[in-house]
């Protein structure tokens, strides 16, 4: 019976050790999303977007930055596609001539934003976080410029406001990651 108790104790200690290691590996990393996102201006956007990628549960800070970067790129690509669809719809309507011009500008701006974010992937890989910061800031400016074009039109509202704002929030959160990595 003494050897049974001893074996039980050993087994229990092993289970506690393995459980503790698993908690440190997965519990702490999963908590990294919450702890990091609490520091952002848009914590709900940060947490919900990062948690949409299952890899966020096991990522370190640099991995979370890569996820946030990929999410920003994906949103920009979807927005560019949306803009092109709007532009096609406006092309046949003469009253939408001014909107079509703004949409053309937005195509250029979002193409630039996507390129800036693609370039920032290399900066993240190279641990050149200042360059990454500059590129992400430029992408945000591209989106803002797109939105500003519509503000110049009297009587028109931007059909992209929500998308532009969400993109700025994603990029703003990404800037925090690059700042924390420095």
Domain boundaries, the chain: 2-181
Helix (H) or strand (E) holding 158: none
pLDDT digits (tens, 9 = 90+) for 70-114: 999 999 999 999 999 999 887 777 667 778 889 999 999 999 999
Our measurement of the distance from residue 27's CA atom to the centroid of its chain's CA atoms, rounded to an integer in Å, reads: 22
Give percent of the chain above pLDDT 70: 82
CA angle 79, 65, 68 (to 5 degrees): 25
pLDDT at 144: 97
Nearest to 41 by CA among 174, 172, 181, 180: 172
φ/ψ bin of 127: left (φ > 0), alpha (ψ from -120 to 50), beta (otherwise) = left
CA distances from 98 to 41, 42, 47, 74, 137 (A): 34, 33, 38, 28, 28
- The residue whose two tokens read 């993109």 is 167
Q: What is the mean pLDDT of residues 118-146?
A: 97
> Judging by beta carbons within 10 Å of its beta carbon (0-12, 13-18, 19+), is residue 88 exposed, middle or buried?
exposed
Question: Going by CATH, does the domain composed of 2-181 fall within 1.10.760.10?
Answer: no
182 token code pair: 């420095």
DSSP 3-state assignment of 154?
Answer: coil
Mean pLDDT of the chain: 85
């Amino acid at each position: 019976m003494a050897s049974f108790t001893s074996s039980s104790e050993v087994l229990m200690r092993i289970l506690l050790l393995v459980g503790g290691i698993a908690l440190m590996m997965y519990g702490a990393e999963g908590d990294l999303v919450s702890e990091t996102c609490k520091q952002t201006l848009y914590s709900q956007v940060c947490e919900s977007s990062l948690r949409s990628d299952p890899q966020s549960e096991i990522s370190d800070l640099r991995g979370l930055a890569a996820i946030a970067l990929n999410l920003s790129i994906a949103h920009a690509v979807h927005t560019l596609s949306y803009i092109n669809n709007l532009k096609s719809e406006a092309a046949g309507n003469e009253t939408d001539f001014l909107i079509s011009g703004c949409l053309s500008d937005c195509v250029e701006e979002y193409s630039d934003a996507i390129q800036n974010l693609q370039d920032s992937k290399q900066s993240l890989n190279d641990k050149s976080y200042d360059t990454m910061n500059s590129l992400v800031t430029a992408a945000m400016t591209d989106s803002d410029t797109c939105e500003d074009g519509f503000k110049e039109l009297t009587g028109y509202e931007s059909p992209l406001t929500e998308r532009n704002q969400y993109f700025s929030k994603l990029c703003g959160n990404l800037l925090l990651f690059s700042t924390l990595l420095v």
